[in-house]
A and B are shown apart, each in its own frame.
Chain A
Amino acid sequence: DAGITQSPRHKVTETGTPVTLRCHQTENHRYMYWYRQDPGHGLRLIHYSYGVKDTDKGEVSDGYSVSRSKTEDFLLTLESATSSQTSVYFCAISGLGATSSYEQYFGPGTRLTVT
């Protein structure tokens, strides 16, 4: 158990509404990531963070923003949700403390449906 929680676990929202997903870790990992998982595409990186207030874009970052104000929390925001953002979202962590371990550990996921 890597000590990662995601909230909410399920959400249904309407097109055009803002949505924020939260990832919380309890083990002081340096790096945190947001992925989306869709059939036929596997897992694709949205954004990642390499420290408090330090973030960078991933492969599919359009329409998403992130924030990390504390080591333990990484927020993913959809400013105006679209149906194409219906997906399962996973948070992952790596790099315990100041180390640069590449091994990523995943949270349980958030299933988001945009109607």
Chain B
Amino acid sequence: GQQLNQSPQSMFIQEGEDVSMNCTSSSIFNTWLWYKQDPGEGPVLLIALYKAGELTSNGRLTAQFGITRKDSFLNISASIPSDVGIYFCAGSNTGNQFYFGTGTSLTVIP
């Protein structure tokens, strides 16, 4: 099955720093979703993107739907300790079958 490539796999940053991560696919998608997962819990939806070039914000989080429709980006500004977790991207063409990346693990050092 299709798998999305997320990078970096892990990040260790100082509190207050900005974070950037991305997700790439060999296929074109018409929907991108970004999730955050804390240990022992289910993924929580952060941002949904539906249009190439779209830039959407949710508080300190900003995500972009790549122009090629094969990639998406997530930025977190001024990181805080509660940003710790694993961030997943997911892409779909059908709206029903989403393909997920393997995640970016974020550690914030106070």
Residues of A within 8 A of B (CB): 4, 31, 40-45, 48, 50, 56, 58-60, 90, 100, 102-109
Contact = CB atoms under 8 A, between A and B. Distances in A.
B92 A102 contact: yes
A37 to B, nearest CB: 9
22 contacts: A31-B96, A42-B101, A43-B88, A43-B90, A43-B100, A44-B100, A45-B98, A48-B96, A50-B96, A59-B1, A59-B99, A90-B43, A102-B95, A104-B33, A104-B45, A104-B90, A106-B35, A106-B43, A106-B45, A107-B42, A108-B42, A109-B40
A102 B44 contact: no
Interface in B9-50: 31, 33, 35, 40-45, 48, 50
A100 B98 contact: no
B41 A109 contact: yes
Given A102-B95, A104-B45, A44 B1 contact: yes
Interface string B79-100: 0000000001010100111111
Nearest to B101: A42
B66 interface: no
Contacts of A43: 43, 88, 90, 100
